[in-house]
Amino acid sequence: MEEGKKRLATLVGCNYPNTPHELHGCINDVHAMREVLVRRFGFHPRDVEVLTDAPRSKVLPTGANIRRALATMVDRAQPGDVLFFHYSGHGTWFPSTGKRAGDGRQRDEAIVPCDFNLITDVDFRHLVNRLPEGASFTIISDSCHSGGLIDKEKEQIGPSSVLPTAAKDSSSQVDKAISFESLLAHLTFLSGIDSPHVGEHLSGLFGAEGVSAKFAAAFERGKMPLADEGILLSGCQANETSADMCQGKDTGRAYGAFSNAIQMVLKEQEGLVSNRELVTRAREVLRRQGFSQHPCLYSSDENTDATFLWQRPRPRSTM
């Protein structure tokens, strides 16, 4: 990457404290990633925005705030810039007539902000389509059902690459999943609307202009370029769950299994690592640890073997 090009990041961690959906490691995940971005990948601290629902957070990771942060990042982008989004939190799915998941069901994937104002695969498609030529947008989503979170992005490592895994002891593991039934029940309680359609509840709660483009009346599926600069590293396949690990109150060690695997690979691999290598090695880490989730890679053919975040080699020490 040329000198002077920007590196911009938005990091979102949702633990949903004091709710039935509480997680423990998501905020830890994004703070760990922030350190890696600054120390290893040359991101300036002022260009890394962190949104969490930790106590006393000034800006909560609501749907509106996450959309604002992502839109601002894309608006700032110029050709050659590197954009990065790391999400750790709940993921979900809802029925769709547009595509089929690996298990044969028609569904769309989404991340779940702290206020349940879903951000969908269509929203990420729109963001990627707005990139200036030559800019890249890499997403790590450590959430359930995250495979395919950029709508229509090409699968490079996915369900066809599944390897057998051992069962994981679930005593310290919580799935980052909110089922469609739970999602619909929660939104129905909030909106008071009697409808089986998620979009009607969200529009009633947040207004037509404040919800995912997937539910907007004016939404049209435009043509997607044959190749683009969207790169998705998902924590699991679209029909799988991702694990949130808590090793106990005494140690305070809590983390997302996929985020932790990414950190381990980057720590072990000091040099350049491609997107393909990072996902493949993260899969191997999770397999050794006994997890049943399978991280996936969605990107153009060219970006599959491109260097993760296009990082420059670090100068050799003279000591």
- Return the active site residues: 90, 144
Closest among 143, 142, 147 to 102, alpha carbons compared: 147
Rounded to the nearest 5°, which phi and psi values hold at 11?
A: -120, 130
Strands (E), the chain: 7-13, 48-52, 82-88, 91-100, 106-111, 119-120, 136-142, 155-157, 173-175, 230-234, 243-246, 254-256, 296-298
Structural tokens at position 169: 């002891």
Distance, CA of 282 to CA of 273 (rounded, Å): 12
SS3 of 7, please? strand
Distance, CA of 112 to CA of 93 (rounded, Å): 10
User: H-helix or E-strand containing 263?
Assistant: helix 257-268
